[in-house]
Amino acid sequence: MDPSTEERAEGAASTPRRAPRQVGDTDIFVQPIALDASAFGWASGIDATERVLGVFADAGGNLVCTADQYAGGRSEIMIGAWLRDRDRGGVVLSTMVGKHPDAHGLSSRSILRAVESSLERLGTDYIDILAFDGDEAGRQIDDALEAADRLIREGKVRQLAAYGFGASRVEEVAQRSAEAGYPDFRGLIVDYSLMERQHYERDIQPIATRRGRTTIARLPLANGYLTGRFRSRDQVPEGVLYDGALQHIGRHGSRVLEALETVAKEAGTTSACVALAWVLLKPGIVAAEVRVRDADDLSSYLAATDVRLTRQQLALLDRVSST
Over the stretch 137-189, which tens digit does the pLDDT of each residue have? 778 899 999 999 999 999 999 999 999 999 999 999 999 999 999 999 999 99
State pTM to two decimals.
0.92
The number of angstroms, rounded, from the C-alpha of 157 to the middle of its chain's C-alpha atoms is 18
Looking at residue 77, its amino acid is I
Please tell me the distance from the alpha carbon of residue 225 to that of residue 247, in angstroms, as a whole number: 9
Chain CA centroid to CA 268, Å: 26
Q: Report the pLDDT value the prediction gives residue 136, as an integer from 0 to 100.
A: 82
CATH number at residue 162: 3.20.20.100
Give pLDDT, residue 244: 72
Residue with the larger pLDDT of the pair 248 and 186: 186
Q: Which residues does 35 contact at the CB level (< 8 Å), separation at least 6?
A: 52, 53, 56, 61, 63, 64, 65, 289, 290, 292, 298
pLDDT of residue 81: 96
For residues 39-51, average pLDDT: 90
Q: Average pLDDT of 128-143?
A: 90
Question: How confident is the prediction for the chain on average, in pLDDT?
Answer: 91
pLDDT of residue 95: 98
Question: Which pLDDT belongs to residue 12?
Answer: 46
Q: How confident is the model at residue 82 (pLDDT cuts 50, 70, 90)?
A: very high
Alpha helix positions (H), 123-220: 142-153, 167-180, 198, 205-211
CA contacts within 13 A on the Cβ side of 59: 25
Q: CA 267 → CA 96, 216, 226, distances in Å?
A: 36, 25, 16
By CB neighbour count within 10 A (0-12 exposed, 13-18 middle, 19+ buried), where does 135 fall?
buried
Beta 21-22 vs 29-30: how paired, if at all? antiparallel
**pLDDT at position 137:** 77
Q: For the chain, what is the domain count? A: 1
> Which residue range is the domain that position 124 belongs to?
3-321
